[in-house]
Every structure is written in structure tokens, then in C-alpha cells.
Amino acid sequence: MSSKEAESFRLPPFTAKAHKFWLNDAKQCFIMAIIALKANKMRTFLTMLGIIIGVGAVIALVSVGMGVKSNVTNSISSLGSNMLIVSPGSSNRGGVRGAAGSMQTLKYDDAEAIKEKIKGIEYVSPTVSGSYQVVNGNMNWNTSVQGVTPELMSIRSLTVGYGSFITQSDMNKRQRVAVIGTTVATNLFGTENPVGKNIRINNQPFKVIGLLESKGQSSMGQDQDDMIYIPLTTAQERMLGITYVQSINVQVTNQEEMDQVQAEIETLLRQRHHILAGKDDDFNVRNLTSLMEAMSESTSMLTILLGCIAGISLVVGGIGIMNIMMVSVTERTREIGIRKALGATYDNIMLQFMIESMVIGIVGGIIGIVLGSGASQLIGKLGNFTTVITLLPILVSFFFSVGIGLFFGIYPARKAAKLDPIEALRYE
């Protein structure tokens, strides 16, 4: 080789700037990690699958659990979870106490006053009821007849299947109209559409204006469809001949305000009924909050339980990462030796392998979130069931999977970083 050719090896002098590895080469490590992970696509995928299933399961199961919770909450709400029931107290004449609700002090005006004067109330519906023989042609049935106001429909979450519900105008005119439940309809009309027909309640003619959709049994085992609703005023004046009401249902807007509203109603009614301080109330106010709390607590437990079971699979996925990273370190001993010979420090190698296992965690986590949310939607669609996806389980399981990638990457990465370059270079 001539001197002229040798000149081509006279490279310009090159001085590397000071070590500033972290900033510059976390990116380089990331690229290397992607290359390494792509080199073993199937293995990377299987390793990720552990995290994907883990994160997916957490999100899907927690969303199912929260769906159950919201279902239970809704069904309790439809029973009237935000409902306060004001009923008259028992009469006490000469030491002889009557049945609960036997006093006649609760008036329609009390209901109006509650509605006007107390804040945080959605609906107020006073009711009266009685049990009567109901007749249509040659068929008859004994059922509960309730005198109600139009608001009851919202409070009880009633849905009218055919026709309409009682209106304010029916109330004002004391109309003889009735809205009947499906059990009553079946017993009086068979399969016939009852709307527009006349029935006789306690020998008085009523026109059926609406048929309710079936609500089934209540949680107390009562048939909620075996019911006839007529206007309150009609019931009071034309059927029962009374001026008082037997209960007032109050729907409170916010569950948190239940106690406050209850206290305000008590104060208001004591004023209106001129009850002196120290004397007993002539009414009772009851609520269903404690039932609600118990149910909500048990469904929260269910959600936590499901989340924990899914969390276990996430940890198992993490162990999968560790397993594969260990294999990867052994397989790449030579590569590590080369890198160390070329000047990679402990931190350099550590960072490279940590980033690799973190990439598995991050990518697996993201795919898991997508699949988990999809699965939750699918469960919702197929099972005709509400699932609730919230940000919290998504964030928690994502950061958990990244954390797992980090944690289970530490040991293999340390193993790699501690390799002796001579031994590593000799490794076949």
C-alpha cells in the first residue's frame, strides 16, 4: 500500500465531548429497545400478552363491578332511595294508642307547603289509599286503589304503556279516571286493551285512561303491578270522604341533603300543626338511606374484589416480563460484552435493559387499556348490562403495568450490567 493510500486513514482528529449519557441516549436506548423487541416479535408479543391480559382484565372487571354498583344504585333509587315518606303519627286518646298513621292531621296543604318552602326537593306527592272490589262486566278483582298526584309517576319511576297518567286537570276536576297496573288489567280485561274502557271501583264508574308497564315484584315481595291509581282529590272526596292524606312521598334532589331536608320537614310540620316544644310529633318522617348504604357498600366490595383478582394476573404478567428479560440477557451476553468493551458503563447497560422492559410494560399497558375498554363495552352490549369505565382504573392499571415493567426489569438489567466484559465476549 502506497503512502498516498495510507493518507486516507488520516482521519480528522476527533475529541468526544464529556459524558452526558442520560439525556442524549435515553432516546438511543429506546431505539435499541425497539430493535431488540422487534427482533423477537413472537416472544415480545407473548410477553406483552401477560400485561395486556392483566391490564385488560383490571379495566373490564372493574367496569363490570362499577356497572353492578350503578345498577343497584339505580334500582334502589327507583324504589325511592332519595325518598322521604311522611306519614301521620298514631292517635292517642285517653291513653289508648291507635295504629300508626291513624291520625288525621296530615293535609294536602302540608304537602303543598313542603313543596313551596323547603329547598332541595324534586317532587312531593301526597297519597291516600284503600282496598276495593273492582268490576269490569262479569269479572272482578280486589286491589289497592291509591289516590295520587301526577308527581307520583316520577317518584315511583312509573312508565305508562298505553294511554296517559293522571294530570293536574284530572286532579282539579276530581275526574273519575284510573290508571291500572298490568296485574289488574289481566284480571279484569284478559288480553284486551283496557284503555278507554269503563270499570267500576266500589260501584262508582271510572274510565281507564292508562295502562302501566310492568314493574314486577318489589324487593319486599309485593306485586307492584297490582295497583290502581286515581286522582288524589277524587279518592279523598268521592271514594273515602276524607280531607286528610295518609302519606306524603317527598323526593329529595341530592342524596347528601336527605338528613337536612328531613329535619326541615319536621320543623315545618311542627309549626303548621302547632305542636308545642316538648310535645311529640303527630307525624313520622322515614327514609331508605340505610338500605342504600348497605347495598352500595357491598357492591364496592365486589368491585375491589374483582380488581384484586385482575391485579393478580397483572403481577403474573410482570413475572413473565422478568422471565423473558432473564432469557434475553443470557442470549445477548455477547452483545453486552461488545457494548462494554466499547465503553458502555454499568448505568448504560442497566438503562438499556430497563427501557426494554418498560417498553413492554407501556405498549402492553396501552393495548390492554384498548382491549379492556372494548371488552367492557362488549360485555355491556351482550349482557344487556351497564358497565362503567372511569379514568381511575385506566390510569392505575397503566402506571401499574409500567411500574411492573420497571420492577421486574431491575433484576435482569442488573444481571446484564454486572457482566464481566471478558467473560461476556467469550460467551458463545
Give the binding site for another protein (CB under 8 A): 1, 3, 5-21, 24-25, 28, 32, 35-36, 39, 334-335, 337-348, 421-422, 425
Q: Name the minimum Å distance from CB 416 to another protein.
A: 13
The answer to whether 54 and 313 have CB atoms below 8 angstroms apart is yes
Taking the least distance from each CB to another protein, the nearer of 305 and 341 is 341
- List phi, psi (to 5°) of 40: -125, 65
Q: Quick one: cell of 273?
A: 300543626
Give me the least distance between CB of 358 and another protein, in Å please.
19
Q: Which is nearer to another protein, 32 or 103 (CB)?
A: 32
Show the cell assigned to 213.
Answer: 308497564
- Residue 178, CA atoms < 13 Å, CB-side half-sphere: 28
* Residue type (1 letter), 146: Q
Distance in angstroms (rounded) separating the CA atoms of residues 160 and 223? 17
Q: Grid cell 427501557 — which residue?
A: 355
At closest approach, how far in Å is the CB of 405 from another protein?
21
Residue 273 near residue 106 (C-beta atoms within 8 A)? no
> Which of 375, 427, 417, 326 has its CA nearest to residue 43?
326
Query: At its nearest, how many Å lie between another protein and the CB of residue 24?
Result: 5
Name the minimum Å distance from CB 1 to another protein: 5
Least separation in angstroms between residue 354's CB and another protein is: 16
Torsional sign, CA 107, 108, 113, 118: positive
Question: Quick one: 156 or 339, whose CB is closer to another protein?
Answer: 339
Residue 350 CB, nearest distance to another protein (Å)? 11
- 195 or 351, CB closer to another protein? 351
Q: Which of 389, 325, 353, 327 is nearest to 55 (CA)?
A: 389
383 vs 74: CA distance, rounded Å: 17
**Grid cell listed for 352:** 438499556
Q: How many degrees, rounded to 5, is the angle at CA 129 between CA 127 and CA 134?
A: 135
- Nearest approach, Cβ of 423 to another protein (angstroms)? 10
In three-state secondary structure terms, 142 is strand
Q: Rg of the chain's alpha carbons, rounded to an integer?
A: 37
Q: Which three cell numbers stand for residue 175?
A: 275526574
By C-beta, is 36 or 358 nearer to another protein? Answer: 36
DSSP letter, residue 120: S
Cβ 20 to another protein shortest distance, Å: 5
Give the three cell numbers for residue 229.
Answer: 291509581
Closest CB 7 distance from another protein, rounded Å? 7
Reduced to 3 states (helix: H, G, I; strand: E, B; else coil), residue 413 is: helix
Q: What is the closest distance, in whole angstroms, from the C-beta atom of residue 428 to another protein in the complex?
A: 10
Place of cell 341530592: 254
* Site of grid cell 311529640: 280
Sequential DSSP letters for 385-411: ------HHHHHHHHHHHHHHHHHHHHH
In Å, the largest CA–CA distance within the chain is 134
